[in-house]
Amino acid sequence: MSELDDLSVRQLLVRRRRLAAGLSAPERTLRGVLVHKGRRCSSEGCRCRSGELHGPYAYLAVYAGGRSRTIYVPQASEEAAAAHVELTQRNEALLQEISQINLELLRRRALE
């Protein structure tokens, strides 16, 4: 990262500490993306068979172990799931930046 090149080790450590302080509630980590989609039911004559799908319903698209799957999110849990997902994305963006700083510290033989 060229932007980090311009910072001193001291500045990198300050920035790293500030980023780490921004992390919150790791117990709420929920990786995935919330999506909404309609679905077909199992009854033969239903309107959904002609394209008028039920829903939309909320699902959590999860990528793990090299494959992705979607998990139904009950309506009562949707708000909580959205909050968890948002917090997780914020934390992971911070962790990504922290990792870049640590990489830069490693390059400078300043990783402790």
Torsion of CA 5, 3, 10, 14, to 10 degrees: -160
Interface with Zn ion includes 53 (CB under 5 A)? no
Measure the CA–CA gap between 26 and 52, rounded to whole angstroms. 40
Check residue 13 for interaction with Zn ion (CB under 5 A).
no
- Among 48, 95, 105, 110, indicate the residue that binds Zn ion (CB under 5 A): 48
Q: Which is nearer to Zn ion, 26 or 55 (CB)?
A: 55
Count of residues that bind Zn ion according to CB under 5 A: 3
Q: Using the rule CB under 5 A, give the single segment among 26-34, 35-43, 69-77, 100-108 that binds Zn ion.
A: 35-43
Please report the DSSP string for 29-60 in residue order. Answer: ---SEEEEEEE--S-TTSGGGGT--EEEEEEE
Looking at beta carbons only, is 41 or 106 nearer to Zn ion? 41
Judged by CB under 5 A, which of 1, 25, 33, 41 binds Zn ion?
41
46 binds Zn ion (CB under 5 A): yes
DSSP state of 45: T
Q: How far apart are CA 24 and CA 95, in angstroms?
A: 11
